[in-house]
Amino acid sequence: MNWRTPRTGGLALLAAVIALLPLALVNNYWYEVAILIGINAIVCVGLNLLIGYAGQISLGHAGFFGLGAYGSAILSVRYGWPPAAALAATTAGVALLALVVGRPILKLKGHYLAMATLGMGIIISIVIVTEDRLTGGPDGMSVPAFTLPGLTLAGERVWYWITGAALLAAVWIALNLIDSPAGRALRALHGSEVGAQVSGIDATRAKVGVFVISAVFASFAGSMTAHYSGFITPGKVSFFHSIELVTMVVFGGMASTFGAVIGAAMLTLLPQLLTILKEYEMVVFGGVMIATMIFFPRGLLPSLMLALGRKRK
Amino acid sequence: MNAPQLEVTALSKAFGGIHAVDQLSFEIEAGKVHSIIGPNGAGKTTLLNLLTGVYAPSSGSVRLEGSDVTGLEPHELAARGMARTFQNLQIFFNMSALENVMVGRHLRERSGWFTAMLRFPRLTAGERESREEAAELMRFVGVGEYIDADADAMPYGALKRLEIARALGSKPKMLLLDEPAAGLNPTETHDIDTLITRLARSGVTVVLVEHNMRLVMGVSDHIVVLDYGRKLCEGSADHVRSDPRVIEAYLGSEGLAAC
Amino acid sequence: MLAQLLQFLLAGLTVGAIYALVALGFAIIHNASHVINFAQGEFVMIGGMATVSLANSGLPLPLAIPIAVLAAAAVGVVLEKFAVEPARGASVVTLIIITIGASILLRGLATLVWDKKLHALPPFSGDQPIELAGATILPQSLWVLGVTLGIVLLLGWFFGRTLTGKAMLATAHNPLAAQLCGVNVRFVLMLSFGLSAALGAIAGILIAPITLTSWDVGVMLGLKGFAAAILGGLGSGTGAVVGGILLGIAESLGAGYISSAYKDAMAFVIILAVLFFMPSGLFGSKSAERV
What distance in Å separates the CA atoms of residue B170 and residue B219, rounded to the nearest whole number? 23
Are A199 and B117 a contacting pair at CB < 8 A?
no
Q: List the chains bordering chain A where 3 or more Cβ pairs fall under 8 Å.
A: B, C
**Does residue A66 fall inside a structural domain?**
yes
Mean pLDDT of C254-270: 88
Share of chain B above pLDDT 70, in %: 95
Are C83 and A294 a contacting pair at CB < 8 A?
yes
Are B117 and A176 a contacting pair at CB < 8 A?
yes
Pairing of strands B82-84, B174-178: parallel
Between A310 and C271, the higher pLDDT residue: C271
Q: Pick from A195, A200, A203: which is nearest to B79 by CB?
A: A200
**Does residue B105 fall inside a structural domain?**
yes
Are A112 and C107 a contacting pair at CB < 8 A?
no
Distance from CA of C161 to the nearest CA of B (A): 27
The three-class DSSP label of residue A279 is helix
Give the per-residue pLDDT at C33: 85
Query: A50-65 pLDDT, tens per residue?
Result: 999 999 999 999 999 9
Distance from CA of B242 to the nearest CA of A (A): 36
Domains and CATH numbers, chain C: 2-124+135-277 (1.10.3470)
Chain A partners within 8 Å of B170 (Cβ) = 199-200
Q: Tell me how long chain C is.
A: 291
Domain that holds residue B148: 93-162
Which chain C residue shows the shortest CA-CA distance from B86?
C291
Which chain C residue shows the shortest CA-CA distance from A120?
C268
The three-class DSSP label of residue A108 is coil
Q: Pick from C105, C219, C272: which is nearest to A290 by CB?
A: C105
**Does residue B155 fall inside a structural domain?**
yes
Give the per-residue pLDDT at C207: 95
Query: A83-132 pLDDT, tens per residue?
Result: 999 999 999 999 999 999 999 999 999 899 999 999 999 999 999 999 99
Are A176 and B103 a contacting pair at CB < 8 A?
no
What residue type is assigned to position A291 of the chain?
A: A
What residue type is assigned to position C171 of the chain?
A: T
The three-class DSSP label of residue B147 is coil
Element housing A304 (H / E) = helix A300-312
Are A108 and C279 a contacting pair at CB < 8 A?
yes
Distances (CA, A) of B110 to A99, A196, B95, B116, B219: 23, 17, 21, 10, 36
Query: A171-218 pLDDT, tens per residue?
Result: 999 999 999 999 999 999 999 999 999 999 999 999 999 999 999 999
Indicate which CATH number applies to the domain containing A38: 1.10.3470
Phi, psi of A65 (to 5 degrees): -60, -45
Q: To probe the interface with A, which of B88, B92, B96, B128 has the most A CB atoms within 10 Å? A: B92
What distance in Å separates the CA atoms of residue B184 and residue B200, rounded to the nearest whole number? 21
Are A202 and B52 a contacting pair at CB < 8 A?
no
Which of B174, B210, B166, B169 minimizes the C-alpha distance to B69?
B174
Across the B/C interface, how many CB contacts are shorter than 8 Å? 11
**Does residue B117 fall inside a structural domain?**
yes
**Does residue B259 fall inside a structural domain?**
no
Confidence of residue C284 (pLDDT cuts 50, 70, 90): confident
Q: To probe the interface with A, which of B52, B69, B72, B75 has the most A CB atoms within 10 Å? A: B75
Mean pLDDT of A254-260: 93
Share of chain B above pLDDT 90, in %: 75
How many domains is chain A built from? 1
Between A156 and B247, the higher pLDDT residue: A156
**Does residue A156 fall inside a structural domain?**
yes
The answer, yes or no, to whether residue C287 has pLDDT greater than 80, is: no
| pLDDT averaged over every residue in chain B | 91
Q: Rounded to the nearest 10 degrees, what angle do helices C218-232 and C263-277 cross at?
A: 20
Share of chain A above pLDDT 90, in %: 79
Pairing of strands B33-37, B222-227: parallel
What distance in Å separates the CA atoms of residue C110 and residue C45, rounded to the nearest whole number? 9
**Does residue B124 fall inside a structural domain?**
yes
What distance in Å separates the CA atoms of residue C200 and residue C38, rounded to the nearest whole number? 12
Give the per-residue pLDDT at A208: 97
Give the per-residue pLDDT at A228: 94
Chain B partners within 8 Å of A2 (Cβ) = none
**Does residue B137 fall inside a structural domain?**
yes
The answer, yes or no, to whether residue C289 has pLDDT greater than 60, is: no
Chain B partners within 8 Å of C286 (Cβ) = none
Confidence of residue B254 (pLDDT cuts 50, 70, 90): low
Chain A partners within 8 Å of B119 (Cβ) = 176, 180
ipTM, two decimals, is 0.92
What distance in Å separates the CA atoms of residue A214 and residue A246, rounded to the nearest whole number? 12
Give the per-residue pLDDT at B258: 47
How many domains is chain B built from? 1
Q: List the chains bordering chain C where 3 or more Cβ pairs fall under 8 Å.
A: A, B
Q: List the chains bordering chain B where 3 or more Cβ pairs fall under 8 Å.
A: A, C
What residue type is assigned to position C54 of the chain?
A: L
**Does residue A1 fall inside a structural domain?**
no
**Does residue B147 fall inside a structural domain?**
yes
Distance from CA of C4 to the nearest CA of B (A): 45
Are C106 and A286 a contacting pair at CB < 8 A?
yes
Its pTM stands at 0.93
Domain that holds residue A245: 6-312
Confidence of residue B251 (pLDDT cuts 50, 70, 90): low
Q: Pick from A130, A282, A293: which is nearest to C111 by CB?
A: A282
- Note the Cα C95 to chain centre separation in Å: 19
Give the per-residue pLDDT at B253: 52
**Does residue A171 fall inside a structural domain?**
yes
Confidence of residue C290 (pLDDT cuts 50, 70, 90): low
Give the per-residue pLDDT at A29: 92
Distance from CA of C279 to the nearest CA of B (A): 17
Which chain C residue shows the shortest CA-CA distance from A129?
C261
Chain C partners within 8 Å of A270 (Cβ) = none
